[in-house]
A and B are shown apart, each in its own frame.
Chain A
Amino acid sequence: MTMTDMATRPTPLETPVPRRSFMKWSAAAGGAAAAVGVGAHYGLLPVASASAEPSGGDDAGEKVVWSSCNVNCGSRCPLLMTVVDGQIVRVDSDPTGDDEMGTQQIRACVRGRSIRQRIYNPDRLKHPMKRVGKRGSGEFEQITWEEAYDTIAASLKKTIEKYGNEAVYLNYGTGALGGTVAKSWPPASSPIARLMNCMGGYLNHYGTYSTAQISAATPYTYGAGAGNNSFDDIVHSKLVVLWGNNPHETRMSGGGETFVTQTAKRQSDTKFIVIDPRYTDTAVSIADEWVPLRPGTDAALVAGLAHVMISENLHDQEFLDTYCVGFDEEHLPEGAPAGGSYHSYVMGLGRDGVEKTPEWAATITGIPASRIVQLARTIAQAKPCAIVQGWGPQRHANGENSARAVMLLAALTGNVGITGGGTGAREGSYQLSLSAFPTLTNPVKTSIPVFLWTDAIERATEMTATADGIQGKDRLEVPIKFIWNYAGNALINQHSDANRTARLLEDESLCEMIVVIENQMTASAKFADILLPDVSNSEQPDLVTQGSAGSLGYLIFADQVIEPLFECRTVYEMCTEIADRMGVKAEFTEGMTQEDWLRKVYAESQAKEPDLPSFEELREKGIFKKKNPAGTVIGLQAFREDPVANPLKTPSGKIEIYSSLLQKLDETWTLPEGDRITPLPEYTPTWEGAELAGTGDAPLQMIGHHYKSRTHSTYGNVAWMQEAHPQLVWVNTLDAKARGIENGDVVQVFNERGRIELKAHVTSRIAPGVVSVPQGAWYAPDKDGVDKGGCTNTLTSWHPSPLAKGNPQHTNLVQIEKA
């Protein structure tokens, strides 16, 4: 039976749609909708009893249950669900709180508001299935849960016996994020990890698709992952520089950073500058100035700004002398070559002998030299100034240096560790101290960069520590043969070069088993060998941790709102059944149910956060909120106050503008031609970078902004969202005119890796020479290989960044034409 048949095959679980009593108002404007019943527009459930009588408006059986939106946006919103006759009929948000900083009402964003169409979606997976066509074809046959569990257990046994535990991999997935038990990210904290750790472990990964480069680079500057000040602290800033940071489209919650930044702006005279290739919605609503630049040229802009500051003596020399190494020749670490300082690099006294004047930076970035001069003076003279970078700049082939360069700017201006200032990293926020579901210890210590899992299928035994960033071993010994893919779309959609990934996965002699646990038929689900239907988070109880919300800490009790749909089961139950077949059930469950675990974890959290109410009280109230008792978060405050008593974890204990550790990597690592690791955050031109744009078959730089329509790919199949925010490639008016493209035209964007088709948003809101394909749309190649889904990753590359070996998904050259 094919999947198409499956979608229409009724089962005992598919109940007719109950009629819902609608609004109690005289003129039934919604009567038209009421006449066809809830779900009718969604096409999920058959409207078998359209003759059912209205229930007379008494709302019999109506209840309101707390749930939440558990996706990877950085926010986390409570959702209050109204249930009638076992169906969710309406979604509201947090009824508590106000419009004040730290006690704010957490108003869900547009995505969470549409969750009913995600839960009741035609793409919902209904039954366990096994693949019958080739991988990726989406051809499946329904099987029993028993057959699914038996098949997985047999395959696990075979894989571990034949190849060892390092052949089993937990793929990155962030589709279930924020929960306590039903949690896919980080994979090492998921029930799958606990299951695998009961039977010898699995191959680890490090880094994330969100932050690979900045996470790898930051410790070389700050010794560890440095937090920044929280956004509520910007009321104390004279200036905020949002460097590739776009909270109003990414962290959209009306209780999260969108609320916090807008409220701070309203409460203070703080000025905002947005540096971004796009005139983002953050810029629309909050920016006093917008500085567009060519993608990937951030470190060149920083060097140009530094040149102005140094030339005009606007930099904070005292701060650099006290807290940093590597700014000037007097403060170089041991072993660094003469001329190795950042000052020498900028003033033309370094290795390349090139002075990084504003004119030099202008040519690279596209920003006029006079504007760079003005920007440098503005930033340097604003005391204090909060420089807060997003994660777009680092998601490039030279992203590590871009990330470090922006942090360097915070040091150059002496803003690190003070109120109203910041470290140059991503915004911090107050977080409650809570316990987590324990996943035991992985006996396997080998770890790969998260982005190189496809390489670890294709060429594992070639991969080494110094060429591919393998950790815990000098080289990989076995390829990945078994993949767990729980609540993730990085199997195809969110990984680079989707066509190449598809070809790799189609070869069953390479990766032998792919288990996908998912609740929608995603692009990745189509590549499963065994496909297990997961419940949504509204079909199970869970404790849900907060998002980034300034000075507000909170915890949501997301209870079970409805019964599991169809044959869907919880991930905990799936793991329990497989543990049973692997002979480790007792270790896996410790005799506990999911709710038992919630109680146990919550009790541990109560010990850390004494203000927490009882389990039952939280369940009833739905949310616990606590304002940061310390006021605002200040990153590296202790270090700033006393750098001797509170040194950083860098070799020097200080902020390392010049990193001897990176110097060592530069000397010892094997890098592909053109890739560079540099001790200073230099600007390094890259493959398919800004310098190569403008000519040839692929003259346009392509980035992939995070889009309001989705969180990555989650919500990507929701009709209300596709209507509100359709998939459109942003094209500058000048570039469109040169190609005869008008707003709304169907176009194709292509390069040697693939071709996608979607509509064009012709706009002045993006820099000339740059197009942006919103990331996360679902990969859907037609018979000719044209991706009609408009997935940005059909055009992106596997080539990893030099240091993190991370995903460079905004470094691309493309062409665009009318379809």
Chain B
Amino acid sequence: MAKQLGFYFDQTLCTGCKACQVACKDKNDLPVGVTWRRVAEYSGGTWRQDGDTFTPNVFTYYTSISCNHCDDPQCVTVCPTTAMHKDEHGIVTIDDGKCVGCRYCEWACPYGAPQYDKDAGVMTKCDLCIDRVNAGEQPACVAACPSRALEFGEIDELRAKYGDTAAIEPLPDPAMTRPNLVITPHRDAQPTGHGTGAIGNPEEI
């Protein structure tokens, strides 16, 4: 068994530009509506108005998220056909021949990673660009990030370098699926379960 791979995300650098999302779509020819990597805007705070003046107490940060190739992937657990499975790299992947497009995995994944392709009638998802990785390149999203906010590699190494935080709003509690994801939190990041903001772009994720 090869070592488990995963993503690192430096939230302090993310500008919400979505170069990662579009690079992924370009590389994988994904239609509108099938988006393997997405970026959430989490925003909140208030304004105090005092006569003619106003004072903000406002925060915003972005989270770029794809499949976290979890140690305990709910998508695999609920898949009735065994199409969804973890391969020898720990990559959660879909056996196209087996998938019937029932969408249980989409419903089960708290990260929204499995994406239904209505034209093909099957589920699709991030495969960590294993073809690029095998060729010694980085996944398309990682190579694309203008801010160098994404890294990819063996999760043990990433955690040794960056710690093991992944419980950041608006992400779910990592205990649910044990994601192979490490985040350096934004200065205004709020811990999962203790958020005071809301997702500002729900239609985009």
Interface positions of A (Cβ within 8 A of B):
22-36, 38, 41, 90-93, 99, 107-110, 113-114, 116, 248-249, 252-255, 258-259, 262, 279, 281-282, 284-285, 290, 292, 362-363, 366-369, 371, 708, 719-726, 732-734, 743-744, 761, 763-765, 767-768
A110 near B93 (CB under 8 angstroms)?
A: no
Closest to A690 in B: B52
B26 near A116 (CB under 8 angstroms)?
A: yes
Chain A nearest Cβ from B168, distance in angstroms: 15
- Known A-B contacts A279-B58, A290-B58, A765-B43; the reply to A25 vs B16 at CB < 8 A is no
Contact of B18 among A110, A368, A765 (CB under 8 A): A110
Report B-chain residues with C-beta under 8 Å of the C-beta of A254: 19, 145-148
B144 near A113 (CB under 8 angstroms)?
A: yes
Chain A nearest Cβ from B112, distance in angstroms: 15
Report A-chain residues with C-beta under 8 Å of the C-beta of B12: 285
B16 near A284 (CB under 8 angstroms)?
A: yes
State which of B30-38, B73-81, B154-162, B172-180 sits at the interface with chain A.
B30-38
A764 near B16 (CB under 8 angstroms)?
A: no
Interchain CA distance A764-B60 in the complex, whole Å: 9
Report A-chain residues with C-beta under 8 Å of the C-beta of B87: 26-27
B144 near A93 (CB under 8 angstroms)?
A: yes
Interchain CA distance A763-B49 in the complex, whole Å: 16
Interchain CA distance A720-B23 in the complex, whole Å: 10
Chain B nearest Cβ from A812, distance in angstroms: 20
A765 near B146 (CB under 8 angstroms)?
A: no
Report B-chain residues with C-beta under 8 Å of the C-beta of A743: 200, 202
Contact with A along B7-20 (1 / 0, CB 8 A): 00000111111110
Chain B nearest Cβ from A144, distance in angstroms: 36
A252 near B200 (CB under 8 angstroms)?
A: no
Interchain CA distance A22-B132 in the complex, whole Å: 12
Report B-chain residues with C-beta under 8 Å of the C-beta of A708: 16-18
Interchain CA distance A362-B145 in the complex, whole Å: 40
Report A-chain residues with C-beta under 8 Å of the C-beta of B18: 110, 708, 724-725
Apart from A258-B146, A726-B203, list 12 A-B contacts with CB within 8 A.
Answer: A23-B28, A25-B127, A26-B87, A29-B126, A32-B122, A90-B27, A92-B143, A110-B17, A279-B56, A279-B58, A363-B53, A734-B47
**B183-201 with Cβ < 8 A to chain A:** 186, 200-201
The answer, yes or no, to whether B69 is at the interface (CB within 8 Å) is: no
Report A-chain residues with C-beta under 8 Å of the C-beta of B130: 25
Chain A nearest Cβ from B114, distance in angstroms: 10
A91 near B26 (CB under 8 angstroms)?
A: yes
Interchain CA distance A36-B121 in the complex, whole Å: 13
Best-buried of A290, A363, A724 by chain B (most CB within 10 Å): A724
The answer, yes or no, to whether B62 is at the interface (CB within 8 Å) is: yes
A109 near B29 (CB under 8 angstroms)?
A: no
A114 near B60 (CB under 8 angstroms)?
A: no
Contact with A along B50-66 (1 / 0, CB 8 A): 11111110101110000
Report B-chain residues with C-beta under 8 Å of the C-beta of A763: 43, 200
Chain B nearest Cβ from A288, distance in angstroms: 9
- Known A-B contacts A33-B117, A93-B144, A765-B58; the reply to A368 vs B131 at CB < 8 A is no
Interchain CA distance A292-B33 in the complex, whole Å: 35
- Known A-B contacts A254-B145, A732-B47, A764-B56; the reply to A723 vs B14 at CB < 8 A is no
Closest to B98 in A: A27
- Known A-B contacts A32-B120, A720-B32, A724-B204; the reply to A362 vs B56 at CB < 8 A is no
Chain A nearest Cβ from B139, distance in angstroms: 12
Chain B nearest Cβ from A799, distance in angstroms: 26
Closest to A88 in B: B26
- Known A-B contacts A284-B60, A290-B56; the reply to A33 vs B200 at CB < 8 A is no
Report B-chain residues with C-beta under 8 Å of the C-beta of A720: 22, 25-26, 32
A110 near B22 (CB under 8 angstroms)?
A: yes
Report 19 cross-chain contacts, Cβ distance below 8 Å, ordered by A residue. Answer: A29-B124, A30-B30, A30-B127, A32-B120, A32-B122, A38-B29, A90-B26, A107-B144, A108-B19, A108-B144, A109-B19, A110-B19, A248-B17, A279-B56, A284-B15, A369-B53, A371-B55, A720-B25, A764-B58
A30 near B60 (CB under 8 angstroms)?
A: no
**B72-108 with Cβ < 8 A to chain A:** 87, 93-96
The answer, yes or no, to whether B68 is at the interface (CB within 8 Å) is: no
B15 near A368 (CB under 8 angstroms)?
A: no
A765 near B53 (CB under 8 angstroms)?
A: no
Contact of A284 among B50, B61, B94 (CB under 8 A): B61
A724 near B144 (CB under 8 angstroms)?
A: no
Closest to A744 in B: B203
- Known A-B contacts A27-B87, A107-B145, A284-B62; the reply to A767 vs B54 at CB < 8 A is yes
Closest to B58 in A: A764
A259 near B146 (CB under 8 angstroms)?
A: yes
A27 near B127 (CB under 8 angstroms)?
A: yes
Closest to A39 in B: B29
Closest to A20 in B: B29
Report B-chain residues with C-beta under 8 Å of the C-beta of A92: 143
B200 near A761 (CB under 8 angstroms)?
A: yes
Chain A nearest Cβ from B20, distance in angstroms: 8
Report B-chain residues with C-beta under 8 Å of the C-beta of A724: 18, 21-22, 204
A30 near B19 (CB under 8 angstroms)?
A: no
The answer, yes or no, to whether B163 is at the interface (CB within 8 Å) is: no
Best-buried of B15, B124, B131 by chain A (most CB within 10 Å): B15
A292 near B28 (CB under 8 angstroms)?
A: no
Going nearest first, the 4 A-B pairs with the smallest beta carbon separation are A254-B146, A32-B120, A33-B29, A41-B31
- Known A-B contacts A252-B17, A732-B47; the reply to A23 vs B131 at CB < 8 A is yes
B19 near A719 (CB under 8 angstroms)?
A: no
B13 near A262 (CB under 8 angstroms)?
A: yes
- Known A-B contacts A33-B28, A279-B60; the reply to A721 vs B44 at CB < 8 A is no
Interchain CA distance A91-B50 in the complex, whole Å: 51
Chain A nearest Cβ from B67, distance in angstroms: 10
B49 near A768 (CB under 8 angstroms)?
A: yes
Report A-chain residues with C-beta under 8 Å of the C-beta of B19: 107-110, 113, 254
Closest to B60 in A: A284
- Known A-B contacts A28-B96, A724-B204; the reply to A285 vs B147 at CB < 8 A is yes
Report A-chain residues with C-beta under 8 Å of the C-beta of B143: 92-93, 107
Closest to A247 in B: B15
Report A-chain residues with C-beta under 8 Å of the C-beta of B44: 764
Interchain CA distance A61-B157 in the complex, whole Å: 39
B17 near A281 (CB under 8 angstroms)?
A: yes
Contact of A33 among B17, B22, B31, B202 (CB under 8 A): B31
Interchain CA distance A24-B127 in the complex, whole Å: 12
B32 near A252 (CB under 8 angstroms)?
A: no
B94 near A29 (CB under 8 angstroms)?
A: yes
Chain A nearest Cβ from B28, distance in angstroms: 5
Report A-chain residues with C-beta under 8 Å of the C-beta of B134: 24-25
Interchain CA distance A285-B46 in the complex, whole Å: 19
Report A-chain residues with C-beta under 8 Å of the C-beta of B201: 761
